Structure 1
Amino acid sequence: MMRMALQRKLVLAVFTIISLLCVYILCLNLDWPSWSIQPHLRMSGSPGDTEELSNTGSRTHLPPTHTSHPDRPTALKPTTELQLQKAQKLFLKSTSRPDADRTCTRGPTVRPTQSARPSEPAFIGDTYTSEDIPPQTDCSDSVRGRVGKTEFGGQFVENIPVLQAARHVTSEEYQRLSWYPGAHGWEGLEYQMLVETLSVLNSSANWQMLDDWESRSNKSECRRCAVVGNGGILKDSQKGKEIDSHHYVFRTNGAITKGFEQDVGSRTTHYTFSTNTLMNSIRSYAGVGYRGPPVSKETRYIFLPDHDRDYLLMKAAATHTPVERGPERGKDPSVYFGKDVSAVKLKMYHPDFVRYLRNRFLRSNTLKTKYKNIYRPSTGAVMLLAALHTCDQVSAYGFITPDYKNYSDHYYDISYHPVGFFINHDLRMELTLWQQLHQAGLIRLYTRH
């Protein structure tokens, strides 16, 4: 009997201990620290995101306006978990990568330019290639001579390459520029494709914006450039003769001159576009007379490379062959640039230059949003700022001004269309920049006042 009683007590003690242990574990779970709960990661395109970018090329409007515009991006996709992980890896890797000295085998010496401000987050990349290109004139009243005395002196990089050419494609440069997407770098582009396409840009005419200056005038004369946007402010302006009187005339996208010569002039020496904006312009403005880029003996074509399709179309134009692949596969480039187009008439903006413009001149708050990878200066802004870095004196016509609501979006609009504001550009910031450059005496901006 005593033995059975002892066994019962022992079993009861074990049961009591097990019960107390279970209660302890239960209480511990109820009081578990909050950091063990995985946070919900909200992806682009999740319910509640009011500003959507579709993968069909449409853009979010700020505020909503008409959708016809050449600068709308293509193939935009929601951010995925894999992309976020990739971005995190790129960021961690970028904090330890050195910026080694780089030199080119041909042409001017190329070297890195140190950043004037912190380059974080990593995708900003405020470090650029620099090359020594001797000035083409002795102009005593040039932009470069005046910029140091203005508020823009600290952000202006005098020797940054505006254009890229065959000599810029090295394995070192490919590794460096592969960090940056779109027009700001070579991310997602195959190295072999870059070598094959940029190899056609192998002459001084390809990396000099004003390549025919020696045949135009003497060295002491200032190079005067008219940069013509397509803004409605030019309608009935009677500025055509004034525009054509400049040494060089820059135009972009749906640049229609026929029938509008009195207001916008007829000459075009430099035409800036991306393949995407060119095709969109042909579709959008055919009804008002746009058939394609201007074609003349003095016209140069400057590609703004947003995608590999820009490199492929450029190579096809230089070699007089159909486009190899992509959306323009099989198309004849002479349809756009004329039968007489040759490699010496082709140029392409350097990714460093476009990224520099974004970082130093148009650093929009959009870079803090999920749309940061598609944001860039508008095509017209790249054109105007390129002229600022290559011409001695710059006059700007048809660019957005504070009274933009008084004018239609374009000078050739049949009826009034309000100016469209889109997420991949910051036109309000560009408006402010044009005013500041005008007040600083670096450009002469046309207004109605």
Structure 2
Amino acid sequence: MALQRRLALCVLTGGLLLCVYMLCVNLEKPPSLAPLKHVSSGSRGSEEPLGTSRDQWTRRPPAPELSSGPGGYTPAPTGTPPTSTAAQRKAAQENNVSQSRSDGADRTRTGTKGPVVPEHQQLVQADGPTEPPFIGDSYMSEDVPPQTDCPDDIRSRVAKTEFGGRFLKRIPVLQWAEHVTRDEHRRLSRYPGAHGWGGITYETLVETLSVLNSSASGRLLDDWQRRSNDSRCIRCAVVGNGGILKDSRRGEEIDGHHYVFRTNGAIIKGFERDVGSRTTHYTFSTNTLMNSMRSYSGAGYRGPPQSEETRYVFLPDHDRDYLLMKAAATHTLVERGPERAKDPSKYFGKDVSAEKLKMYHPDFIRYLRNRFLRSKALKTKYKDIYRPSTGAVMLLAALHTCDQVSAYGFMTRDYRSYSDHYYDRSYRPVGFFVNHDLLLEMSLWQRLHQAGLMRLYMRE
């Protein structure tokens, strides 16, 4: 009888221990995460119509208004060095770089065992938080003398604003023949899409950028001396395609600037009273150009504006941008890719020359993403396809090269009151896609306006 009681006690004790073990295992198991939900749609986006290949993004509903800073994070105070981690120090050693301080930023130069960087082209890393490797918060820095002695230019004002710690005055806006080296190709090949040279062969770079070999290739405003008319300050109008411009009657005001920037499906004919008639700089990627010609032909878009003063600024998303650039500069047909055998003169005119063609530097686009438009999308599976919209790159490029900037046709807080485009025949809501963060861009335009760094056209 005693033996039976002892056996029963053992069985009961073992069962209790097993229950405790199972409870501990369940407590340690992490909760399951619900997948991100996006609304799939085949309709066209407001800033860049969808493509039919890997450029077709997932449509998403508008997010709530953002209260964070324009870059989505709080920058380190000016003059405060970032905290160095063991991982960062190891990465720096592996890349044979040594760091020094200059102009409130960390300058990185190649060490004795690494590639040699010319004195006027150095790598610079601005103050900021510790970043994952794909962010790539190091950029080329080069000496570019100012074009004016404007007493109240953006560069002199930015240091007194919240953007002072983010703004790099020496970052190259454009890439050209002088930038193509084996070492630069190795450095930038780690970043895909518009943020680097990932997927672009060194041979393709040499073939394309070798045609951008004049002094005009490295300057966005290459003809300032001819058009300055003794003005001390460069005034630029940057024109988006937003519906807020409909019936705005801002055309004469826009044309009164020294330079007028436009992008993508910029339809001018019939809308001159509201948007003006001049175009000095037209920004696009090959994908957005082709999609605009398909999507907005019914509204009257036939291709980029063509005039003697117009410059064409490529935003290089893929190798197709480099191939179209080369064909346009050499007056030949496109060799390969989706635009194979197409004649670039159809888009840029028969008299286009290499001096009228320009291309944004991937360091500049990555810098804009990291320092001004740090979206929460970078923490999702869509991080590789997210980038600033083409219009955002154009506007921020103007802010880095002009003395005074006025922005028209960009999103404002009352964007729901206007159609997607000023040329829409009937009301269409603004489209949102995961490859851009238009609400974050809208927040940035407001803050730049409030900081006095640009003038944003608003109706509210």
Tell me whether the two structures share a fold, i.e. TM-score over 0.5: yes
Give the Cα–Cα distance (whole angstroms) in 2 for the partners of residues 354 and 71 of structure 1.
Answer: 20
Sort the Cα spacing of 1:438 and 1:317 in 2 relative to 1 into closer, same or farther, 3 A: same
* Partner residue in 2 for 1:386: 397
Deviation of the 1:140 alpha carbon: 0.4
In the alignment, which residue of structure 1 is the partner of 2:282?
Answer: 271
Opposite residue 396 of structure 2, the aligned amino acid is L
Aligned to 2:37: 50
Q: Equivalents in 2 of 1:77, 1:344: separation in Å?
A: 32
Does residue 304 (structure 1) correspond to residue 296 (structure 2)? The answer is no
Tell me, yes or no, if the aligned pair for 1:166 and 1:202 is still in contact at 8 Å: yes
Q: CA deviation at 1:98?
A: 3.7
Alignment of structure 1 residues 196-345 onto 2, 5 Å: 196-217=207-228, 221-345=232-356
Q: 1:87-166 maps to which residues of 2 (within 5 A)? A: 96-99=94-97, 100-101=109-110, 109-166=120-177
For residue 44 of structure 2, the aligned residue among 67, 83, 91 is 67
State the AA in 2 paired with 1:172: D
In the TM superposition, residue 115 of structure 1 has moved relative to its aligned partner by 2.9
Q: Counterpart amino acid of 2:340?
A: R
Q: Give RMSD over aligned pairs.
A: 2.8
* 1:204 Cα deviation after fit: 1.0
Asked if 1 retains the 8 angstrom alpha-carbon contact of 2:45 and 2:433, the reply is: no
Cα separation, partners in 2 of 1:169 and 1:144, compared to 1, 3 Å: same
Write the letter of the residue equivalent to 2:44. T
After TM superposition, the score normalised by the length of structure 1 is: 0.82
CA distance in 2, matches of 1:162, 1:68: 26
Structure 1 residues 252 and 77 mapped into 2: Cα distance closer, same or farther (>3 Å)? closer
Deviation at 1:118, TM superposition (A): 3.5
* 1:183 corresponds to: 194
Q: Which moved more, 1:213-222 or 1:310-319?
A: 213-222
1:117 offset after TM fit, Å?
1.3
| 1:220 Cα deviation after fit | 5.3
Query: How many residues are treated as equivalent by the alignment?
Result: 391
Q: In structure 1, what is the Cα distance between the partners aligned to 2:177 and 2:230?
A: 27
Distance 1:204 1:72 in 2: 35
- CA–CA distance in structure 1, aligned partners of residues 450 and 37 of structure 2: 38
Aligned: 1:409 with 2:388: no
Secondary structure at 1:309 match in 2: helix
Does the 8 Å CA contact 2:251/2:274 hold for their aligned counterparts?
yes
Which residue pairs with 1:3 in the alignment?
none
Runs of 4+ in 1 over 2 A off after TM superposition: 47-51, 64-74, 91-105
Compared with structure 1, are the counterparts of its residues 316 and 356 closer, same or farther at alpha carbon in structure 2 (3 Å cutoff)? same
- Alignment CA distance shift 1:103-1:236 (3 Å): farther
2:363 paired with 1:352? yes
| TM-score, with structure 2 as normaliser | 0.80
CA offsets 1:212-247 (integer angstroms, 9 cap, x no match): 001112565100000000000000000000000000
Say if 1:137 and 1:219, in contact at 8 Å, map to a contact too.
no
> What's the offset of the Cα at 1:119?
4.7
Q: Which of residues 400, 412, 428 in structure 1 aligns to 2:439? A: 428
Measured after TM superposition, the shift of residue 67 of structure 1 is 2.6
Measured against aligned partners, the alpha-carbon deviations of 1:283-340 in whole angstroms (never above 9, x if no partner) come to 0000000000000000000000000000000000000000010000000000000001
Matches of 2:130 and 2:205 in 1, distance apart? 26
Structure 1: segments with no counterpart, 5+ residues = 1-26, 52-59, 79-90
> Deviation of residue 421 (structure 1)?
1.0
Does structure 2 retain, via aligned residues, the 8 Å contact 1:118–1:126? Answer: no
Q: Cα distance 1:176–1:258, how it changes in 2: closer, same or farther (>3 A)?
A: same
What is the CA–CA distance in structure 2 between the aligned matches of 1:431 and 1:234, rounded to whole Å?
A: 16
Match of 1:85 in 2: none
Contact 1:104–1:167 (CA<8 Å) still a contact in 2? no
Cα displacement string for residues 364-384 of structure 1 (whole angstroms, at most 9, x for unaligned residues): 000000000000000000000
Distance 1:430 1:364 in 2: 9
> Could you say if the C-alpha distance between residues 144 and 418 of structure 1 is closer, same or farther in structure 2, counting changes exceeding 3 Å?
same
Give the unaligned 5+ runs of structure 2: 1-17, 58-87, 98-108
Distance 1:315 1:92, change over 3 A: farther
Kept in 1, the 8 Å contact 2:250–2:274? The answer is yes
Once the two structures are superposed, residues 254-276 of structure 1 have per-residue CA deviations (whole angstroms, 9 ceiling, x without a partner) of 00000000000000000000000
